[in-house]
Structure 1
């Protein structure tokens, strides 16, 4: 998440005329005639959308310390988990476990279908993490997560607002949990992260530098052949079946696999935090933005 809560509380409502801003869509990836639809508002700050096998989307309201569930069939939102460890970015494993960046205690969690959590990572080299932010689970198993520093007001009395680690890095945790190591140590502030469905490439947004990079994934989890993907950072990210990459911040901006901008989806909020594809057919773009969540019907579809 990009913004401190002290700043979030100062944001005023977006003028209603911005709702009429037109979608820029060079490659016709949005369903013809589709409009951005408000699902629900009234949250404090929404983040971390993760899609389940049946297409429901779980997302966080981090300041209120809850994980919510959007039912893709009836379009209703319910509370899935209270006391959610201030969960931020999330992602589902193939067996239905919800992986969560729980930055209240600088941890990475695994949450079962009943909402019971297990701590997967609590430290690296005997020191706390800065605050896990976003996570992607690769198809072969194991997961990558970013660990920037965003001081939180709820850390008061728990920890300082200084770096716990020697920088802001990207990590890999092996499927069995036996190995945890850094895979990118030269970024300013890594944030959004997403991989390709074949598990060959990883995109990491360096929101501090205003850039997104593409890496090749080795069998052992290490990253090689770093290359600049586009001159834009991102909070959260997703990818579709055409290889297009969706970045967030000022609405949703879409780049093709070559890094060319092909679409921009305006969102009536001061900050768009994250995005994923929901519904059983994965053709509903689900967007978290400030105090609300939105959907948009797409021609493209998400990938598992």
Structure 2
């Protein structure tokens, strides 16, 4: 019998959040059995979701047509964040191999980036695609500081940076290096702003647990970088943005929703920590949420700004 899932609820902090949810729309658990779920990406043409189970070294696939979950890829090089590019191809952050890859339509895999300035990347974490064809990704050290989600190794670069891959040359450019652990990232609907999470509180006492907002210039460079929002439940990880510029972000107690003015509007409370999320479904109004061990979803009264 379908009904309210135990341990889930909506928390309205600002009345603007009430217009985005409906009390009769239940939060669903679609599947459970992962060790650490991450990186959901929605493929509209096939009506399926791909996400990572990092410690189990596999990628999973949920089919909207029949609710079946299957293994999409194993081994998966401890893949973390995933997205969909402008041609509908899977782009993945691989922590074990310390590289960013694209899975082509014929199933072959192309390496997009594995180094910067002649040095190995740390462990690419999350990725987004710009409409101009450029690819933007974060490179913290989570995949090289333990063997649980990658392989212990020294950082050759010595910092955790934000990068952009030029769509014409394939050159990897460093955009910012003043993060402790850069994590999730997403563009505003008009792509004039880029939001980037810093989850440095995970391994640094009193470290950052916030999202920063940058201005994207026409040449691809960034300015600004002020703190947009600070997490009141652990730290932020992955997030996505809806069509009106609201940020829907992961946190330790579920999903937090922020207005573009920085106000915390409300929360979707879940029984486990959330790592990442994305919008999908036929009308892009279904939020898919990667909890620690489970995949959840909920229909909202808004749509995602973009697929991926």
**TM class by shorter-chain length?**
0.7 to 0.9
Give the CA deviation at 1:244. 0.7
The 10-residue stretch of structure 1 (211-220 or 22-31) with the greater mean CA deviation from structure 2: 22-31
Counterparts of 2:179 and 2:194 in 1: how far apart (Å)? 14
Normalized against structure 1, the TM-score is what?
A: 0.88
**1:14 corresponding residue in structure 2:** none
Counterparts of 1:259 and 1:155 in 2: how far apart (Å)? 32
**1:33 corresponding residue in structure 2:** 24
User: Quick check: 1:19 aligned with 2:19?
Assistant: no
Give the CA deviation at 1:77. 1.8
Q: 1:48 aligns with which of 39, 49, 52?
A: 39
Counterparts of 1:226 and 1:73 in 2: how far apart (Å)? 41
Q: 1:194 aligns with which of 183, 186, 194?
A: 186
Gaps spanning 5+ residues in structure 1: where?
Answer: 1-16
Taking the TM superposition and a 5 Å limit, the aligned residue runs for 1:87-98 are 87-98=79-90
Counterparts of 1:301 and 1:40 in 2: how far apart (Å)? 23
Equivalent residue pairs, number: 285
**Contact 2:247–2:260 (8 Å) recurs in 1:** yes
Give the CA deviation at 1:154. 5.8
Cα-to-partner distance string for 1:82-134 (whole Å, 9 max, x where unaligned): 22221100110111111100111110001123543111111111111110000
**1:6 corresponding residue in structure 2:** none
Moved over 6 A (4+): none
Give the CA deviation at 1:64. 1.9
Q: 1:265 aligns with which of 263, 268, 284?
A: 268
Cα-to-partner distance string for 1:49-68 (whole Å, 9 max, x where unaligned): 01123353211111222222
SS of 1:224's equivalent? strand
**Contact 2:10–2:268 (8 Å) recurs in 1:** yes
User: Quick check: 1:63 aligned with 2:55?
Assistant: yes
Give the CA deviation at 1:215. 0.7
Counterparts of 1:103 and 1:20 in 2: how far apart (Å)? 32
**1:80 corresponding residue in structure 2:** 72
Normalized against structure 2, the TM-score is what?
A: 0.87
Cα-to-partner distance string for 1:168-211 (whole Å, 9 max, x where unaligned): 11111111353211111111111111112322110001111111
Counterparts of 1:20 and 1:46 in 2: how far apart (Å)? 18
**Contact 2:189–2:242 (8 Å) recurs in 1:** no
Give the CA deviation at 1:80. 1.9
The 10-residue stretch of structure 1 (221-230 or 134-143) with the greater mean CA deviation from structure 2: 221-230
Taking the TM superposition and a 5 Å limit, the aligned residue runs for 1:271-286 are 271-286=273-288
The structure-2 alpha-carbon separation of the partners of 1:87 and 1:122, relative to structure 1 and needing over 3 Å to count, comes to same
Q: 1:244 aligns with which of 237, 243, 246?
A: 246
Give the CA deviation at 1:21. 4.5
Counterparts of 2:169 and 2:292 in 1: how far apart (Å)? 33
Counterparts of 1:89 and 1:189 in 2: how far apart (Å)? 14
